[in-house]
Amino acid sequence: MKFEVSAKIAYEALAPSTLILNLNPFRSDGQVILSENLSSTPGLKMKELNSLSGEKRFQVIEIPETGKITINYKAVVENKFEVIPADQLDDVPISKMPPAALFYLHPSRYCQSDKLYKFAYNQFGNIEHAYQKVIAIRDWIYTNVEYGGYTTPQTSAYDTITEQVGVCRDFAHLGVALCRALTIPARYFTCYAYKLHPPDFHACFEAYLGGHWVVIDATKLAPVNGLIKIASGADATDTAFASIFGNLRFMNMEVGTVLLDPEFHGVNINTSSQGYSYI
């Protein structure tokens, strides 16, 4: 589907600073960036880089002096999802996994899977098929974790599993951690999300099943085929929308996702019979 995505962010620089933005949609075989424009007021020096690990491109922006700055991003993107029958989404044996999947078995800052082995095994271990395990993880999170409330930038999956309150970031971290605890590689997935209300950046997770990275939204807040991928990574540490070095005071942000195609048939991964994989 074709979408226009946009983000407008304003900061006040209290000192010369460097800002790293990770809000450009990812370029892939399936997701085509038809046009994009990133500008700032006043005009700033920007450089685009690609990460070595993870899947993302990001902008390094130098802010040489104090004062208010506004960043404007707009792009037209065509995203693409593959629909895969559940029976093709089974466990991949460790010895068959590529390095890019093995990497996502490790615990990370916000996804301490090493502390959740027994919990995951006791709760989901008796489910035989890998994809059904992931669906059960998603539903456990959706049922037990209250959306909203009070979390901090340091809240991690280890907190969310017991405190059971959080936002999309926390839902995704917990999904990632539980998959990894069951030896299913899992990545944190950031995106624009069509029909997300109120409009904002969104976070989901991807589980490696049958050789595919299947996208899962434990919040169930937006149709999965309306997601426009920005980045995949270990967790929120390496996929943050904005990383600040120096002293920038956040002022405000507006995020938008507009459908450019005439029609949209939203699907959620509600069925246990098929999964959606971002291409």
d(Cα 7, Cα 73) in Å, to the nearest integer? Answer: 5
Applying CB under 8 A, does 126 fall inside the site for its own copies? no
Q: Among residue numbers 88 through 107, which ones bind its own copies (CB under 8 A)?
A: 93-95, 98-100, 102-103, 106-107
Q: What mask, x for binding its own copies by CB under 8 A, covers residues 18 to 47? A: x-x------------------------x-x
Candidate segments 144-152, 167-175, 207-215, 270-278, binder of its own copies by CB under 8 A: 144-152
Applying CB under 8 A, does 122 fall inside the site for its own copies? yes
Candidate segments 2-10, 109-117, 249-257, 263-271, binder of its own copies by CB under 8 A: 109-117
d(Cα 206, Cα 142) in Å, to the nearest integer? Answer: 16
Candidate segments 70-78, 117-125, 184-192, 205-213, binder of its own copies by CB under 8 A: 117-125
Q: At its nearest, how many Å lie between its own copies and the CB of residue 94? A: 4
Considering only residues 1, 13, 137, 161, which one is a binding residue for its own copies as defined by CB under 8 A? 161
Sorted by sequence, the CB contacts under 8 Å of residue 96 that are 6+ apart come out as none
d(Cα 141, Cα 175) in Å, to the nearest integer? Answer: 7
Sorted by sequence, the CB contacts under 8 Å of residue 227 that are 6+ apart come out as 79, 81, 189, 191, 192, 193, 194, 202, 204, 215, 217, 278
Considering only residues 128, 146, 261, 263, which one is a binding residue for its own copies as defined by CB under 8 A? 146
- Of all helices (H) and strands (E), which one includes residue 162? helix 157-163
Applying CB under 8 A, does 108 fall inside the site for its own copies? yes
Applying CB under 8 A, does 241 fall inside the site for its own copies? no
Residue 185: how many other CB atoms lie within 10 Å? 23
Q: What are phi and psi of 204, to 5 degrees?
A: -130, -165
Binding-residue total with its own copies (CB under 8 A): 51
d(Cα 80, Cα 231) in Å, to the nearest integer? Answer: 15
Assess contact for 134 and 216: CB atoms under 8 A. Answer: yes
CB nearer to its own copies: give 43 or 93: 93
Local structure of residue 25 (DSSP, 8 states): P
**Residues of this chain that bind its own copies (CB under 8 A):** 18, 20, 45, 47, 49-54, 60, 62, 93-95, 98-100, 102-103, 106-109, 112, 114-119, 122, 143-144, 146, 150, 152-154, 158-159, 161-165, 183, 234, 237-238, 245
